[in-house]
């Protein structure tokens, strides 16, 4: 029996997921958690990121439903929050985007508008590495070179 296609996300859900995945650090976090579940300190060491910043990225991924965190007690009684990838599957096509766009709520639109006007408002987004401008090379010949 063929597998049913994944349900189509609402506009708000799609914005959350794409926003969460629109950061290279968060992509690396999801990739690391695909290997094995982990707790914040170990994950921070593994990917080379400070715990406070990692925690903000984990919150964004968890809010988007891409990862889940579970509080557990270690053998010595210390509370540790383990994170793992949540099962998810998104099929992204122009038609899915068009249908999702019709379901964006006013609240999500206002949040997006505020972010667009103010620039990046979240610390986890401020940590995005700056985009490198496309390099173009233009060769200009001097009058002397053109005369040759």
Q: What percent of the chain has pLDDT over 70?
A: 74
Q: What is the pLDDT of residue 48?
A: 96
Instruction: Answer yes or no: pTM beyond 0.75.
Output: no
Q: Which residue has the higher pLDDT, 127 or 62?
A: 62
Per CATH, the number for 11-129 is 1.10.10.10
Q: What is the pLDDT of residue 2?
A: 67
Residue linked to tokens 């019709």 = 102
Longest dimension (CA), the chain: 83
Q: What is the pLDDT of residue 3?
A: 73
Q: Chain-wide mean pLDDT for the chain?
A: 83
Looking at the chain, the whole-number percentage of residues with pLDDT higher than 90 is: 61
Assess whether pLDDT exceeds 70 at residue 122: no
CA terminus-to-terminus distance, the chain: 73
pLDDT tens, residue by residue, 35-85: 999 999 999 999 999 999 999 999 999 999 999 999 999 899 999 999 999
Predicted confidence at residue 139, as pLDDT, reads 44
Mean predicted confidence (pLDDT) in 13-21: 95
Domain range list for the chain: 11-129
pLDDT for 140:
44
Report how far apart, in Å, the C-alpha atoms of 49 and of each of 40, 55, 91 are.
10, 10, 31
> Is pLDDT of 130 > 50?
no
Of 48, 14, 13, 42, the closest CA to residue 28 belongs to 48
């Amino acid at each position: 029996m063929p597998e049913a296609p994944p349900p189509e996300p609402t506009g708000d859900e799609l914005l959350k997921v794409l926003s969460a995945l629109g950061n290279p650090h968060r992509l690396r976090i999801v990739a690391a958690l695909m290997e094995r579940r982990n707790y914040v300190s170990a994950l921070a060491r593994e990917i080379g990121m400070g715990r406070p910043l990692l925690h903000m990225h984990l919150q964004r991924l968890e809010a988007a439903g891409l990862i889940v965190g579970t509080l557990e007690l270690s053998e010595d009684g210390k509370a540790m929050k383990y994170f793992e990838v949540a099962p998810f599957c998104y099929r992204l096509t122009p038609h899915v985007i068009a249908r999702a766009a019709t379901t964006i709520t006013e609240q999500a639109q206002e949040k997006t508008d505020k972010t667009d006007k103010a620039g990046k408002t979240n610390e986890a987004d401020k940590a995005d590495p700056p985009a490198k401008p496309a390099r173009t090379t233009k060769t200009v010949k001097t009058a002397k070179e053109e005369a040759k």
